[in-house]
Amino acid sequence: MKEHIKKNAHQYRLLGLLVILLIVMGILAPGKFLTVKNFKNMGFQMAEFGILAIGMSVVIMTGGINLSIVNSAMLASIVSAMAMRTLYNGGEGMADIPVILIGVAITVVIAIACGMINGFFVAYIGVLPILVTLGTQTVFDGIALNITRGSGVSGFPKLFQKIGAGTLGQIPYTMLIYVVVIVVAYLMIERSRWGISVYMVGGNEKATRFSGINTKKTIMGVYVFSAVLSGLAGILMTSRYNSAKADYGSSYTMQAVAATVLGGTSINGGSGHVLGTVIAVAIIQVISSGFNILKINRNFTDIATGLILVGVLALNHFVNKGSLKKRVRVSVK
């Protein structure tokens, strides 16, 4: 147990911070913050960003980055929204359920295609991920703009809104989907053979290749996995906003990188935990919602988020320094 805590010290520190934030917000906004209503509300909001952040984390674990994650989500959503609109035809066309199933399928297929394009350039051509995704980000955004001419696409079955707005008892569906994504991502990355190869590629790609692992396949898989999650987030966003548009979620890209690094994943790859990212996302959500409820000027939310980012990681530095002094450490990454 002690060993476990030591190994995951960063995550426990984050968890501690989250608890402190919850308590502080609860005291500052009595009767409002620590309520079922607010938690439900945060559950609705957190899922789409959380899923994107996990998609980003997996890529960063291999030492890459996926700047196109939001754009692939929106491109997939737009194509599927257009298809759903045509099929549904304002109620004249197909029934609700088949329309939605086709829509979801199209989103996932397009997202996978986007992921394969990224994966192809990174794994098989060998271009740096930041360059590839900078390019594909522009292309995906361009296609989305081109086919929509900048306007939103809506007009699908009312039932589709249920995905983003419905609840099971008090728990939002979005939250349930998010939990499933967390569990699947955790099992795939931290408990599977494939996951080990992901970390290995991030640590040292060449050594991994020489050890007999098909690193190209691993990298391709990572980008496809990231894209599938982006597609899922796209479905949630389309449902929650009842439309798909080229610029939705434009603020999520850098935030997802920040959440990943705050969660303890090294930007150079080779390390990191899904749960770290999940806790980081929760921290960002609590600050954001809490400040809104406290009627604090929105600009201070940005300031507080920035300070917490820096503060938490600076804390790591001091703690690590302290423990270094006590004993000589053999560092194996």
Partner 1 sequence: MKKVLAMIFVLAMLVSSVAMAETIVVMPKLVGIPYFNASENGVKAAGEELGIDARYVGPTEGDAALQVQMIEDLLVDGIDALAIAPNDPDSVSPALQKCIADDVLVLDWDTTANGDDVTFSVHQIDDKVLGETLIDLLVDQIGEEGEYAIVTGYLTAANLNTWIDAGQAYAAEKYPGLKLVTDPVPSDESQQEAYNQTMALLQAYPDLKGILGYSTPAPIGAAKAVQEKGLNDQVAVVGTSMPNDSSEYLKDGSLDYAVLWDPAQLGKLAVYVAHLTLNGEELEGYEVPGVGPIHVEEDGKTIIMGPPTVWTAENVDNYDF
Partner 2 sequence: MSDKIKRALGNKEASVFIILIAVMLIATIFNPAFLTFSNIMDVLKGNATLGICSMGMLLIILTGGIDASVCGQLTLVCVIAGKIMANFQFDNIIVLYLLGIAIGCFTGLLNGLMVARLDLPPIIATLGLDSVLMGYLKYYTNGNWINAKELPPRIGQIGLFRFFSNPEVNGSGVPLQLLLYVLVALLTWFMLNRMLLGRSIMAMGGSRVGAERIGLNAKNLTTFAYMYAGMMYGFAAITYTCAMNSVDPNAFLGFEMNVIGAVVLGGALMTGGQGSVLGTVLGMLLFAFIKNGLTLAHISAYWQNIIVGAIILLAVSFDMIKLHREERLQTKVDIEPKEAIAR
- Confirm if 289 and 260 have CB atoms less than 8 A apart: no
Site string for partner 2, 114-133 (x = CB under 8 A): -------x---xxxx-xxx-
Given the complex with partner 1, which of 62 and 288 has the nearer CB atom? 288
Q: How many CB atoms lie within 10 A of CB 91?
A: 11
Q: Which of 26, 93, 135, 155 binds partner 2 (CB under 8 A)?
A: 135
Pick between residue 138 and residue 211 the one whose CB is nearest to partner 1.
138
CA pair distance 257, 264, nearest whole angstrom? 11
Q: Convert residues 50-89 into a mask of x (bound to partner 2 by CB under 8 A) and - (unbound).
A: -----------------x----------------------
User: Which of residues 206, 295, 325, 329 is near partner 1 by CB under 8 A?
Assistant: 295
Tell me which of 140, 156, 173, 178 binds partner 2, using CB under 8 A: 140
- Binding site partner of 267, from partner 2, partner 1, none, Cβ cut-off 5-8 A by kind: partner 2
Kindly write out the interface string for residues 187-226 of this chain, putting x where it contacts partner 1 by CB under 8 A and - elsewhere. Answer: ----------------------------------------
| Residue 329 binds to partner 2 (criterion: CB under 8 A) | no
CB of 248 to partner 1, least distance (A): 6
Cβ proximity to partner 1, 64 vs 290, nearer residue: 290
Report 216-275 residues binding partner 2 (CB under 8 A).
254, 257-258, 261-262, 266-268
Rule CB under 8 A: say whether 211 interacts with partner 2: no
Contact set for partner 1, span 158-187 (CB under 8 A): 161, 164-165
Q: Which residue has the tokens 């890529």?
A: 59
Strand 167-168 with 171-172, pairing: antiparallel
Among residues 31, 90, 169, 212, which is the contact residue for partner 1, using CB under 8 A? 31
Q: What is the CA radius of gyration of the chain?
A: 21
- Asked if 262 and 275 count as a contact pair (C-beta separation under 8 A), the reply is no
Residue 150 interacting with partner 1 (CB under 8 A): yes
> Which of 294, 296, 286, 301 minimizes the C-alpha distance to 28?
294
Taking the chain, what is the end-to-end CA distance rounded to the nearest angstrom?
A: 21
Binding of partner 2 at residue 310 (CB under 8 A)? yes
Interaction site with partner 2 (CB under 8 A): 67, 121, 125-128, 130-132, 134-143, 145-146, 149, 203-204, 206-207, 254, 257-258, 261-262, 266-268, 297, 299-303, 305-307, 309-310, 313-314, 317, 320, 333
